[in-house]
Amino acid sequence: MGITIPHDRLSQSALQGLIEEFVTRDGTDTGYTDGSLEEE
């Protein structure tokens, strides 16, 4: 069970944090780097 929160109800920093967490979490096939997303 989950909660649906429309993306336009999140602050810019909260949305950025969720996106970063999703794309950098372990188990993705994108690999691991020590750099930030801004550096990629």
The model carries a pTM of 0.53
At residue 24, the pLDDT reads 80
At residue 37, the pLDDT reads 60
- Kindly report, residue by residue over 4-35, the tens digit of the pLDDT: 999 899 999 999 998 888 888 766 555 555 66
Cα–Cα distance for residue pair 34/12, rounded to 1 Å: 24
Residue spans of alpha helices (H) in the chain: 12-24
At residue 14, the pLDDT reads 94
The contacts of residue 10 (CB under 8 Å, 6+ apart) are 18
At residue 36, the pLDDT reads 65
Of the two residues 29 and 3, the one the predictor is more confident about is 3
